[in-house]
Structure 1
Amino acid sequence: MTGILNSVDQRTNLVGQNRLELLIFRLGRGQRFAINVFKVQEVVKLPKLRPVPHSHPHVCGVAQLRGKAVPVIDLALAIGLGKTRDLDNASLIVAEYNRTVQAFLIGAIETIVNLNWEDILPPPKGTGRQHYLTAITRVDKDIVEILDVERVLADIAPMNTSVSTQMLDSELIERARALRLKALVAEDSATALGQVRETLAELGIAVEAAQDGLQALQRLQSVVARGVTVTDEYLLLVTDAEMPEMDGYRLTAEVRANPQLASLHVIMHTSLSGSFNQAMVKKVGCDGFLSKFAPDELAQLVLQRLREFLNA
């Protein structure tokens, strides 16, 4: 179990190459699911859990891991597959999302696969669990569903999207509304997109959404193809790191490599954290980096860009 994850250095070498590693596991009656290995701290056999009175129904207890109490979420139950029954063969995925560490109760761990983001596709329309998926892929000819863990966590503890009153500059916000300024947001999680949209709305900035990096790049290319300066069309680009078809690192690198797009202000907004990720966003040329989800910090970066734009 301890050897299933590669070293952090090996895994982070994939970032920026439009590649990722997925941890494949089973839930419920054997359906195959995945999450990005980059977010996983460790995988352990299910230890004894301590119950938490009055907790959310999806939280099945607390595990003591490396001296810390970590909440455990029954992932099958959270996405509508019913409570995990086979605890003898169950494991925990310990992962960091949105600045917090939590463990996900799962069934059997299978393997880790190394893929191109081009092999990761948006979920098909009309799938029953579509709102809990960010993407799908094929592994050994089988469909593997990549989970929107941010949606799972938001169901348990909804994120606050409101900007603190002291952060708001009414004059600046009114000017943004009068100019009908907008941001292009590249984000494959509907939950995360909604959070960004609500926060930017408080700042007077509209959101145009792209569901992955490739779609965002095509949107930007179409703007300059019409003869429009990209900064006249968008105040800034806010991009997630992990997305189907093209990740946020490759998207930013493509923007910086195109003279017609290079002046666009880019903020990397991701649930990935850590010093390595900050080094990567600097390497590819992002103007700002923010770990999800902190509305005041997002507002601060956006308002800073707004002031630069209005004073230019």
Structure 2
Amino acid sequence: MAGVLDSVNQRTQMVGQNRLELLLFRLVGQQVYGINVFKVREVLPCPKLSSIPNSRSVVRGVSHVRGETIPIIDLSMAIGLPGIPQEKLSTSFVIITEYNRKTQGFLVAGVERIMNMNWENILPPPKGAGKDVYLTAVTKVDEKLIEVIDVEKILAEVSPLREDVTEELVARSTTREPANLPVLVVDDSSVARRQIQRCLTAIGLEVVTRNDGKQALEHLREVTQDGSKATDHFAMVISDVEMPEMDGYTLVTRVKESPALHDIYVMLHTSLSGVFNKAMVQKVGADDFMAKFSADELAERVMEILDRT
């Protein structure tokens, strides 16, 4: 499993085709969970862990991997389940991931396989599941329910990011020409939507949100049914990449091939590793790419974009 990203070229070919690969794993119990392979650097047997004084209980320790000191988060504990027992660490695994510009390891009980899937088969969690569940999506593999973990929610709780725009940028925003149109924000994570909306409203922008690419595309087509252009309704679109039903790459592809929509400025804003993203952004025709999440960087970039468009 250590070579989980060996066939990078094969995976980049899926860009714009609404496909992804899920790494399937287990925590405590028989439930199977999934994580996007593009966020995985490698999978390895649980290494020796060194404790961190005064750390949160979900952080089981740190480990030295490839010359880097990485925090190891017990994924079971992070989503409210019992943690992996100390005596079972020797048979457990760590998934090394890159999210939001940070590297961390997730301790799991076992790793199963990689599945090539279509985002159309990745569905939002059931509405009755509640707003506090640690899932962004569900799907089925071999008639078994697979739960896709909301890692952004977990990391926001374990290692919170500063979400407020600095007073300097807020003051600078007041000197700009007021924006007449809202920004369309597309993200399946409620945490990410809240972070982005808070950032943009701080600099005086109105925000409209949608939970996935399919919803966003339908909304854009709906508002332009009267013959208007997307630019008549929105100043720009800020979209996540990983989303159920339609991912951000596919959303950009559909927008850019539509005469009514193609002029709208689209920024992909994602927690995915930046290693492959430049080539992907160019392939689908997005106007910009930014790694999550820095409130100041996002606010500054958005103001620059709006000032020149």
TM-score range, shorter chain: over 0.9
Q: Is the 8 A contact 1:74 1:84 kept in 2?
A: yes
Select 2:174's aligned residue among 163, 167, 171.
Answer: 171
- Which whole-Å deviations, capped at 9, do the CAs of 1:254-276 have from their partners, x for residues lacking one? 11100110110111100113242
Partner residue, 2:233? 233
Q: Is the 8 A contact 1:18 1:249 kept in 2?
A: yes
Q: 1:229 to 1:4 in 2, by over 3 A?
A: closer
Partner residue, 1:57? 57
Q: 1:16 to 1:27 in 2, by over 3 A?
A: same
Q: Is the 8 A contact 2:174 2:203 kept in 1?
A: no
Superposed counterparts of 1:225-264, under 5 Å: 225-264=225-264
- Paired with 2:81 and 2:204, the residues of 1 have a C-alpha distance of 40
Q: Is the 8 A contact 2:203 2:299 kept in 1?
A: yes
Partner residue, 1:220? 220
Partner residue, 1:281? 281
Residue 280 of structure 1: how far off its partner (Å): 1.2
Superposed counterparts of 1:112-127, under 5 Å: 112-127=114-129
- Paired with 1:171 and 1:187, the residues of 2 have a C-alpha distance of 27
Q: 1:249 to 1:155 in 2, by over 3 A?
A: same
- One-letter code aligned to 1:282: Q
- One-letter code aligned to 1:167: L
> Alignment partner of 2:57: what SS?
coil
Q: Which blocks of at least 5 consecutive residues in structure 2 are unaligned?
A: none
- One-letter code aligned to 1:67: G
Q: Is the 8 A contact 1:185 1:208 kept in 2?
A: yes
Superposed counterparts of 1:1-312, under 5 Å: 1-3=1-3, 6-85=6-85, 86-127=88-129, 131-168=133-170, 169-172=172-175, 175-176=178-179, 179=180, 181-309=181-309
- Paired with 1:263 and 1:103, the residues of 2 have a C-alpha distance of 40
Q: Is the 8 A contact 1:98 1:272 kept in 2?
A: yes
Q: Is the 8 A contact 1:173 1:204 kept in 2?
A: no
- One-letter code aligned to 1:142: K
Instruction: Tell me how large the CA RMSD over aligned residues is.
Output: 1.7
Q: Is the 8 A contact 1:212 1:245 kept in 2?
A: yes
Q: Which moved more, 1:71-80 or 1:288-297?
A: 288-297
| Sequence identity (%) | 48
Residue 96 of structure 1: how far off its partner (Å): 0.3
> Alignment partner of 2:103: what SS?
strand
Q: Is the 8 A contact 2:38 2:273 kept in 1?
A: no
Q: Which moved more, 1:284-293 or 1:145-154?
A: 284-293
Q: Which blocks of at least 5 consecutive residues in structure 1 are unaligned?
A: none
- Paired with 2:229 and 2:4, the residues of 1 have a C-alpha distance of 48
Residue 16 of structure 1: how far off its partner (Å): 2.2
Q: Which moved more, 1:193-202 or 1:79-88?
A: 79-88
- Paired with 2:275 and 2:5, the residues of 1 have a C-alpha distance of 20
- Paired with 1:267 and 1:170, the residues of 2 have a C-alpha distance of 20
- Paired with 2:164 and 2:143, the residues of 1 have a C-alpha distance of 44
> Alignment partner of 2:220: what SS?
helix
Aligned length: 306
> Alignment partner of 2:127: what SS?
coil
- One-letter code aligned to 2:148: I
- Paired with 1:226 and 1:232, the residues of 2 have a C-alpha distance of 11
- Paired with 1:128 and 1:166, the residues of 2 have a C-alpha distance of 37
Q: Which moved more, 1:63-72 or 1:2-11?
A: 2-11
Q: TM-score, normalised by structure 1?
A: 0.93
- Paired with 1:170 and 1:50, the residues of 2 have a C-alpha distance of 45
- Paired with 2:132 and 2:34, the residues of 1 have a C-alpha distance of 14
- One-letter code aligned to 2:234: Y
Q: 1:213 to 1:19 in 2, by over 3 A?
A: same
- Which whole-Å deviations, capped at 9, do the CAs of 1:6-58 have from their partners, x for residues lacking one? 42222222222211000000112121100000110000001110000001121
